Amino acid sequence: MKIVILDGYAENPGDLSWEPLRAFGEYSVYDRTPKEKVIERSAGADIVVTNKTPLPKETLARLPNLKFIALLSTGYNVVDIAYAKERGIPVSNIPSYSTHAVAQLVFAFILGHYNHVALHSEAVHAGEWSASPDFCFWKADLFELAHKTFGVIGYGEIGRRAAKIADAFGMRVIVTSRTKPAQLPEYVTFTDQGTLLKNADVVSLHCPLTPQTQGMVNEEFLAKMKPTALLINTARGPLVDEAALAKALCGKTIAGAGLDVLSSEPPEKDNPLFGAPNCLITPHIAWAGKETRARLMSIFLDNIKAFTEGGPIHVVNP
Instruction: Tell me if 318 is assigned to some domain.
Output: no
The model's pTM:
0.93
Q: Kindly state whether residues 145 and 196 are assigned to the same domain.
A: yes
Backbone angles phi, psi at 167, to 5 degrees: -60, -40
Same domain for 73 and 175, yes or no, is: no
Give the 3-state secondary structure of residue 205: strand
pLDDT digits (tens, 9 = 90+) for 252-292: 999 999 999 999 999 999 999 999 999 999 999 999 999 99
pLDDT tens by residue, 206-221: 999 999 999 999 999 9
One domain, residues 171 and 50:
no
271: in domain:
yes
| pLDDT tens-digit readout, 21-39 | 999 999 999 999 999 999 9
The predicted pLDDT at position 85 comes to: 98
- Same domain membership, residue 73 and residue 213: no
Active site residues: 236, 265, 284
Q: Distance between CA 71 and CA 74 in Å, rounded?
A: 7
Counted domains in the chain? 2
Domain span including residue 128: 99-281
Indicate if 74 and 219 belong to the same structural domain: no
Residues 56 and 193 in one domain: no
- Asked if the bond preceding 266 is cis, omega within 30° of 0, the reply is yes
CA atoms within 13 A on the CB side of 237: 16
Characterize the bridge pairing of strands 26-29 and 149-153. Answer: unpaired
For residues 67 and 143, state if they share a domain: no
Are 145 and 226 in a shared domain? yes
79: helix, coil or strand? Answer: strand
Clarify whether residues 48 and 162 are in a common domain: no
Structural domain contains residue 313:
no
Taken as a whole, the chain contains a residue count of 318
Residues 76 and 109 in one domain: no
**Which residues make beta-bridge pairs with 279?**
257
Q: Are residues 259 and 295 in the same domain?
A: no
What pLDDT was estimated at residue 230? Answer: 98
Query: Tell me: the pLDDT tens digits for 47-102?
Result: 999 999 999 999 999 999 999 999 999 999 999 999 999 999 999 999 999 999 99
- In the DSSP assignment, the letter for residue 36 is G
CATH number reported for the structural domain that contains residue 166 in this entry: 3.40.50.720
Q: Rounded to whole angstroms, what are the CA distances from 176 to 210, 228, 273, 307?
A: 16, 20, 26, 37
